[in-house]
């Protein structure tokens, strides 16, 4: 079914990708070790940060740590003995985690860390060294990849920092215990040169996800593409040529997980699953050919400029029942300023297409982009309510290291960094920045208000009610609704307003006003890309009634 709306979607975008690698080229990249070492890989708990919704229920969403599974697979292939401690499953305390690590008698401990997690990693690393100084400690993941030297300087207990792709670097560390501390291996041409993620090291009973209409179901995660070519200013992944995986191997993983662990839902961690349309069609066709579309369901992240009706129909046939997009803003001027590469009308159109096809819709928004104002946030709230959207997340802009937003926040370019405590870099409940117009407290207020307005819309309440009566009994699924109803009541009783609301009222009183959204900084990652280089000057007019 192709609707008239569809023709206006800019689907011609198909990212240039690196070639795929044939099966004969697989594995020789992993060097077999002469010494067999015991390696314990650890993911610290982080879900506590979402407790703004209320106390965390016992039966909540936990997703397998895919990065560690890849690293573990490579280490096992090299001949090492590996175990994974995933503290997220039952939110282990630091004391219990330390005990588990020491009990596993490791030669090497490997942590994964995003920015808000690094403090916990450093503190545990110190305690491990205090107990046994012979244990080597390595850390990989987004935070240390962006700031390897700073991390080493902050924490002398760390022996190795792995920058970027970790499979070969981890093997190099385990095989050779090199003298250099910052280990970086060039990205391989294909992700398929690595062994499959070592799923057998996890207890899959812990990994569940609230699925519309079904409640908590067993789930697994995988990637079919690594890298994202887009240049969103707030993202640390931006500008990396996507590498497509071999479809046979991707679908082998799905089949294996379904047969071995009884997985019912698969979540693609690809930044943009639809970045290459041929890849999506091939993936869907193979899932259908093996009959997996009758057995399991899929979730993926897409973008408005890479998705159209034909593609959605194919994805539905293959079993995709929920799709999410990072909309980020409902202001056209903001959308341009954050270099999302999409137009807001495209989101409206794609959500309409999804809704017509009964796909579960999700989105994420950000409040606090550089130069964000009361007006642009209000535009975002209105936009989120206008489109065919049933679930949404709202994050406060957090300038992670190695993003253009970080440079802007440090330079005061429409954003101002208020705190450099990495523990606070969590996008929820706290704001580490302010904009020229909005204080940190405003941003926290708007995050809460956005969710409140969104989740108390009659259509969204009705959708959740339908979910309830069709068997989705997961408390987790309904938390945003409970949160919103409670806050609606509080806001009504307290007549709550954003702290700097009076400034906005004063501006309104003066009538029409021009606001400049002008980034003075050049995104250093863009230097080679002529079309994106230079100062981007965007001016838009506000018609405040």
Q: How far apart are CA 461 and CA 482, in angstroms?
A: 10
Q: Torsion angle of alpha carbons 479, 481, 486, 492, nearest 10°?
A: 160
482 CA to centre of own chain? 24
Rg (CA), the chain: 23
| Number of residues in contact with ligand SF4 under rule CB under 6 A | 10
**Shortest spacing between CB 468 and ligand SF4, in angstroms:** 32
- Whether 59 contacts 40, CB under 8 Å: no
Other Cβ atoms closer than 10 A to 99? 13
Minimum CB distance to ligand SF4 smaller for 272 or for 276? 272
Please, what is the minimum distance in Å from the beta carbon of residue 505 to ligand B12? 32
**Full DSSP string of 285-312:** HHHHHTTGGGT-EEEEEE-GGG--HHHH
If one asks whether residue 228 binds ligand SF4 (CB under 6 A), the answer comes out as yes
Choose, by CB under 6 A, the member of 11, 21, 71, 135 that binds ligand B12. Answer: 71
Q: Residues in contact with ligand B12, total (CB under 6 A)?
A: 40
Of 267, 359, 351, nearest in space to 322 by CA: 359
String of contacts with ligand SF4 for each residue 320-359, x by CB under 6 A: ------x---------------------------------
Q: Does 400 bind ligand B12 (CB under 6 A)?
A: yes
Q: Report the alpha-carbon distance of residue 427 to residue 50 in Å, rounded.
A: 10
Distance from C-alpha of 517 to C-alpha of 333, rounded to nearest angstrom: 7
Q: Which among ligand B12, ligand SF4, none contacts residue 142 (Cβ within 5 to 8 A by kind)?
A: ligand B12
Which partner in ligand B12, ligand SF4, none is near 114 (CB below 5 to 8 A by kind)?
Answer: ligand B12
For residue 77, report the phi and psi dihedrals to the nearest 5 degrees. -60, -35
The minimum distance between CB 143 and ligand SF4, in angstroms, equals 16
Region at 79 (left for phi over 0; alpha for psi -120 to 50; beta for the rest): left
Retrieve residue 55's tokens.
């106390």
* Cα–Cα distance for residue pair 295/251, rounded to 1 Å: 13
The span of 63-71, 76-84, 339-347, 465-473 binding ligand B12 (CB under 6 A) equals: 63-71
**Binding-site partner at residue 230 among ligand B12, ligand SF4, none, CB < 5 to 8 Å by type:** ligand SF4
The entry of ligand B12, ligand SF4, none that residue 63 binds, CB within 5 to 8 Å by partner kind: ligand B12
- By beta-carbon proximity to ligand B12, the closer residue of 201 and 515 is 201
Q: Which is nearer to ligand SF4, 56 or 237 (CB)?
A: 237
Within residues 171-230, the interface with ligand B12 by CB under 6 A covers 223
Confirm or reject binding of residue 116 to ligand B12 (CB under 6 A).
yes
> By rule CB under 6 A, what string of x and - marks binding of each residue 239-278 to ligand B12?
------------------------------x-x-------
Asked if 142 touches ligand B12 (CB under 6 A), the answer is yes
458-469 helix and 440-455 helix, angle to the nearest 10 degrees: 60
CA distance 160 to 177: 9
Task: Tell which residue, 143, 318, 112, 291, has the closest CA to residue 224.
Answer: 318
Q: CA nearest 476: which of 261, 221, 203, 217?
A: 217
Query: What residues pair up with 542 in beta bridges, in sequence order?
Result: 513
Nearer to ligand SF4, 121 or 232 (CB): 232
Answer with the entry of ligand B12, ligand SF4, none that 272 interacts with (C-beta below 5 to 8 A by kind): ligand SF4
Instruction: For CA atoms 20, 197, 291, 316, give the dihedral sign.
Output: negative
DSSP string, 208-265: EEEETTTEEEEEEEE-SEE------TT-SS-S---EEPPHHHHHHHHHHHHHHH---E
Binder of ligand B12 out of 60, 143, 449, 507 (CB under 6 A)? 143
271 is a site residue for ligand SF4 (CB under 6 A) = yes
DSSP state of 145: H
Does residue 445 contact residue 496 with C-beta atoms inside 8 Å?
A: yes
Q: Is 238 in the site for ligand SF4 (CB under 6 A)?
A: yes
Q: Which is nearer to ligand SF4, 235 or 381 (CB)?
A: 235
Q: Which of 26, 98, 100, 146 binds ligand B12 (CB under 6 A)?
A: 146
| Minimum separation from the CB atom of position 545 to ligand B12 (A) | 35
Would you say 230 or 320 has its CB closer to ligand SF4?
A: 230
Site for ligand SF4 in 165-184 (CB under 6 A): none
Element (H, E) at 477: helix 475-494
We find the least distance from the C-beta atom of residue 234 to ligand SF4, in angstroms, to be: 7
Give the Cα separation of 74 and 475 in Å (integer): 37
Per partner kind, with CB cut-offs from 5 to 8 A, the member of ligand SF4, ligand B12, none near residue 215 is: none
Among 114, 263, 349, 444, binds ligand B12 (CB under 6 A): 114
Q: Are strands 225-226 and 243-244 parallel, antiparallel or unpaired?
A: antiparallel
Looking at beta carbons only, is 110 or 480 nearer to ligand B12? 110
Q: Which of 274, 320, 431, 271 is nearest to 366 (CA)?
A: 431
Q: Which of ligand SF4, ligand B12, none has residue 440 at its interface (CB below 5 to 8 Å by kind)?
A: none
Proportion of the chain in helix, strand, coil states, percent, rounded to 5: 45, 20, 40
CB of 383 to ligand B12, least distance (A): 21
Least distance between ligand SF4 and beta carbon 420 (Å): 23
Residues in touch with ligand SF4 (CB under 6 A): 228, 230, 232, 235, 237-238, 271-272, 303, 326
Residues in touch with ligand B12 (CB under 6 A): 41, 46, 49, 63, 65-68, 70-71, 110-112, 114-117, 138, 140-143, 146, 162, 165-167, 169-170, 223, 235-237, 269, 271, 400-401, 426-428
């Amino acid at each position: 079914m192709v609707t008239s709306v569809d023709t206006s979607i800019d689907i011609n975008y198909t990212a240039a990708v690196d070639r795929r690698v044939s099966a004969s080229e697989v594995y020789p990249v992993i060097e077999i070790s002469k010494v067999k070492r015991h390696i314990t890989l650890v993911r610290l708990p982080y879900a506590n940060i979402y407790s703004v919704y209320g106390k965390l229920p016992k039966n909540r969403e936990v997703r397998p740590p895919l990065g560690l599974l890849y690293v573990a697979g490579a280490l096992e292939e090299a001949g090492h003995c590996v175990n994974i401690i995933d503290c997220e499953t039952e939110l282990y305390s630091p004391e219990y985690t330390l005990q588990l690590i020491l009990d596993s008698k490791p030669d090497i401990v490997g942590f994964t860390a995003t920015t808000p997690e690094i403090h916990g990693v450093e503190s545990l690393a110190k305690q491990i060294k205090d107990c046994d100084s012979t244990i080597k400690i390595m850390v990989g993941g987004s935070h240390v990849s962006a700031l390897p030297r700073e991390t080493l300087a902050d924490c002398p207990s760390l022996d190795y920092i792995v920058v970027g792709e970790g499979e070969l670097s981890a093997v190099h560390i385990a095989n050779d215990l090199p003298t250099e501390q910052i280990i970086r291996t060039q990205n391989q041409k294909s992700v398929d040169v690595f062994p499959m993620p070592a799923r057998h090291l996890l207890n899959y009973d812990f990994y569940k996800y609230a699925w519309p209409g079904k409640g908590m179901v067993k789930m697994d995660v995988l990637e079919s593409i690594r890298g994202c070519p887009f240049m969103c200013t707030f993202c640390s992944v931006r500008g990396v040529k996507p590498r497509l995986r071999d479809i046979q191997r991707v679908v082998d993983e799905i089949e294996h997980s379904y047969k071995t662990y009884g997985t019912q839902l698969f979540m693609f961690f690809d930044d943009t699953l639809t970045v290459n349309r041929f890849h999506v069609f091939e993936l869907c066709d193979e899932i259908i050919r093996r009959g997996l579309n009758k057995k399991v369901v899929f979730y993926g992240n897409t973008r408005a400029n890479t998705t159209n009706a034909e593609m959605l129909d194919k994805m539905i046939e293959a079993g995709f029942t929920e799709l999410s997009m990072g909309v980020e803003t409902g202001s056209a001027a903001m959308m341009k300023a954050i270099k999302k590469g999409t137009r807001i009308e495209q989101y409206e159109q794609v959500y309409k297409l999804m809704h017509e096809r009964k796909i579960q819709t999700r989105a994420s928004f950000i409040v606090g982009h550089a130069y964000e104002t009361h007006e642009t946030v209000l535009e975002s709230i209105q936009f989120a309510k206008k489109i065919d959207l049933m679930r949404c997340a709202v994050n406060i802009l957090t300038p992670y290291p190695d993003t253009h937003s970080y440079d802007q926040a440090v330079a005061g370019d429409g954003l101002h960094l208020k705190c450099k405590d990495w523990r606070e870099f969590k996008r929820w409940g706290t704001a580490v920045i302010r904009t020229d117009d909005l204080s940190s407290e405003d941003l926290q207020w708007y995050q809460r208000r956005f969710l409140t307005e969104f989740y108390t819309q009659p259509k969204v309440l009705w959708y959740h009610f339908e979910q309830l009566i069709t068997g989705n009994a997961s408390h987790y699924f309904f938390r945003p609704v409970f949160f919103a109803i409670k806050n609606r009541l509080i806001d009504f009783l307290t007549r709550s307003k954003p702290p700097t609301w009076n400034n906005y009222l004063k501006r309104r009183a003066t009538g029409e006003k021009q606001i400049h959204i002008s980034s003075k900084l050049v995104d250093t990652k863009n230097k080679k890309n002529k079309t994106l280089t230079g100062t981007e000057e965007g001016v838009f007019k506000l018609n405040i009634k």
